[in-house]
Chains A and B, each alone.
Chain A
């Protein structure tokens, strides 16, 4: 977690910090994406999530990021609340 820059949007920065709490890692990328987040399942089946530097609407982007993180199927067993 050390050594990465903060996202200029407060909401997006909070969503990225939330991802890190869930075991996701931060990877720098070039271009319009600010970063790529990789889920705890670090191989070809793992999830990758792109964070924009300047999304059309930062609040919506932060909400979408949280939704995508919640949808990751690679959370530790027992935390998956789908199909009850």
Chain B
């Protein structure tokens, strides 16, 4: 068993209600710290599980059992160059050079706000590139993909989510070896 750190952003329960915290406690969120920030319920999890996929899927189940709606999983899959620098410990200057392709080979292009001054990258795609270039651990690359998949599943209402996330993450881990 390993402990995985991530956040679940949720909605649908009133933080001023008498039973607000108890609902989460009884649903098994006693390994999370709950706050209400910017109008959202935020649960900081430190969840022990066999894999990141199982940790995230079981946490989402706990949050839903409490009666809340899962909105998003963080660390968010959409990242700026500053976010990438913060997550990897690489310098902001190095990230700029990678993105301008003055350094390294084929850094992935941004996927959102592409035409703006502050484009955003898909963390899972960037993490895979960083792993291939020995700048990031294999575990971190797998966690990035797991969080990306979980955020895709949040909107899809897949009832077999736990199994499908687990198998997708395993398939991804195998593909990393081949990369």
Question: Which A residues form the contact surface with B (CB < 8 A)?
Answer: 29-33, 36, 45, 47-50, 52, 54-57, 60-61, 63-65, 67-68, 71-73, 83-84
Contacts and interface: CB of A to CB of B under 8 A. Distances in A.
Contact of A83 (B26, B37, B82): B82
Interface string B18-51: 1111100110001111111111001010100000
Contacts, number: 69
5 contacts: A30-B18, A50-B35, A52-B33, A68-B35, A84-B92
B21 A47 contact: no
B22 A33 contact: yes
Given A50-B21, A71-B37, A60 B15 contact: no
Given A48-B15, A84-B82, A33 B21 contact: yes
A83 to B, nearest CB: 6
A54 B35 CA distance: 17
B30 A54 contact: yes
A31 B38 contact: no
A71 B43 CA distance: 13
B21 A29 contact: yes
Interface of B: 3, 15, 18-22, 25-26, 30-39, 42, 44, 46, 80, 82, 92
A48 B33 contact: no
A50 B16 CA distance: 11
Contacts of A29: 21
The 6 closest A-B pairs by CB, nearest first: A64-B33, A33-B21, A32-B25, A31-B22, A60-B46, A64-B44
Contacts of B37: 47, 68, 71-73
B46 A31 contact: no
Given A31-B18, A49-B35, A57-B46, 10 more contacts: A31-B19, A32-B25, A33-B21, A49-B33, A56-B30, A60-B3, A60-B46, A61-B33, A72-B37, A84-B92
B34 to A, nearest CB: 5
Most buried by B among A32, A36, A50: A50
Given A71-B37, A83-B82, A31 B31 contact: no
Contacts of A47: 35-37
A33 B42 contact: no
Given A33-B22, A52-B25, A67-B44, A57 B31 contact: yes
